[in-house]
Amino acid sequence: MTTVKQPPRIDQVSAQPSPRRTLWSAVRTACAAIALTLASAAPSAAQGEFRVTLLGTGTPVPSAERFGYSTLVEAGSQKLVFDFGRGLTIRLAELQIPFGKINAHFLTHFHSDHLVGLPDLWLTGWLRPPYGHRDKPFEIYGPPGVAKLTKGLTEAFSRDIEIRSEDEHDPAEGIAFDPHEVQPGVIYDVDGVKVTAFANDHGRLVTPSYGYTIEYSGHKVVLSGDTRYSAEVAAQGKGADLLIHCVTVIPDDLLKRIPAYQAIYQHLSSPEDAAKVFAEARPRLAVYSHIGLNGDARVEDLVARTRSVYDGPLQVGHDLMTITIGDQPVVTESPARPGNR
């Protein structure tokens, strides 16, 4: 694998003493050079590659091993992020992908564990390189309510935006939101990359809630979103190269001792529920993400319960697992770190 040299930090860039505006000009010039270095060093799918990286495979439970749920899709010229779990920007930084260079962003639903990383990605991607220096609006797609969300974030961080605009002269366009409230159907079609939203089943009160299908160069990836068993997810997954599905494991003894755990299965899939979707869809590869292991549940339990229903190709996802889509999906098992990708 190619070794990627880390670019210098901004605070290591030197400048001769000069008036304030001259200093800022020098820093901006240096940062632009850093950005070019980072952009060339960062892995790119611009040559037609179709690649999916699990940025976070966890749940609302704080974990150093499984960050909050988020997925990066790279297809040709496009870099797309789906959901914004805790620690999203840390994972992107590990991959050396400038936050401000994500082309579009997609939200499945409004639960906080899918949202808490959004302000960080939005705000930090506006800063000077190597973070990305976004110079166009933050494009975000999601269920009705996205416009209200982005308006509220803009108001909440208005003082920070005012200060940085005057003090650091970051471009006004880069901190603006461009929200798209969408209904099921094709919602994004750019440079041969097509994204389709579809309704899943995250429980009676969590509506609308979406999954997403991403198509590029004759291949298809499906993200279930948070859902219990859904025939629509299975239908979307038919013929998919990759189907990524949520799952939660609750041991039987825990369900008996604490009946409240039953409520989780009113919103999320048991291994048997997810396996039923996999068995109906028959994707080339099924991968678990948004993995909840409750009580003393282990990954081995998850696999065993899945195998009672589904016998096809299966991977239990981990943070920074990468799947390259081609004639057969290729999985990078070891976490990708700078210098290893």
CB 202 within 8 A of CB 230: no
Residue 295 CB neighbour total at 10 angstroms: 14
Give the whole-angstrom CA distance, residue 158 versus residue 138: 16
| 253 catalytic residue (yes or no) | no
Give the whole-angstrom CA distance, residue 49 versus residue 79: 11
- Cβ-based neighbours of 30, under 8 Å, separated by 6 or more: 13, 15
Percentages of the chain per state (helix, strand, coil), in multiples of 5: 35, 25, 45
Residue 294 CB neighbour total at 10 angstroms: 16
Choice among 83, 113, 201, 226 that is catalytic = 113
Assign residue 87 a region: left if phi > 0, alpha if psi is -120 to 50, beta otherwise?
left
CA distances from 274 to 140, 253, 305 (A): 28, 21, 10
Give the whole-angstrom CA distance, residue 216 versus residue 184: 19
Judging by DSSP bridges, how do beta strands 322-325 and 50-56 pair with one another? Answer: antiparallel
Give the whole-angstrom CA distance, residue 183 versus residue 251: 37
Give the whole-angstrom CA distance, residue 70 versus residue 91: 10
Q: Dihedral through CA 82, CA 290, CA 226, CA 218, nearest 10?
A: 50
- What are the CB-based long-range contacts (under 8 Å, 24+) for 194-199? 195/80, 195/104, 195/106, 195/141, 196/236, 197/141, 198/232, 198/233, 198/236, 199/232
Catalytic residue list: 113
